[in-house]
Amino acid sequence: MMPARINQETLTVRDLRALADRLDSRGHSLVFADQPYLQADLKLAADAIRTLVNGCTPDAAVTVGRR
C-alpha cells in the first residue's frame, strides 16, 4: 500500500485571515441553520485562526500539507 500523497501549500497571514473570514461567514450562514454544531465549529475555527495569527508580521507564512 502506497502512502497518501501530500501536497504542500504555503499560506500567508493574509491568506489565513481570509480563511478565518470565510469560515466565520459560513458559521453565520442560514444555510447551516439546521446544523448548530457545525456553525459553532466553523466560528470556533475562525476564532482559533485569528488568535494564532494575532501579532504575526504580515509577511509571516506557514506551509501546510494537504491530502
- What average pLDDT does the segment 26-52 reach? 96
- What average pLDDT does the segment 46-50 reach? 97
Prediction pTM value: 0.84
Q: What whole-number distance in Å separates Cα of residue 1 and Cα of residue 65?
A: 20
pLDDT digits (tens, 9 = 90+) for 20-38: 999 999 999 999 999 999 9
CA-atom Rg of the chain in angstroms = 15
- What average pLDDT does the segment 30-52 reach? 96
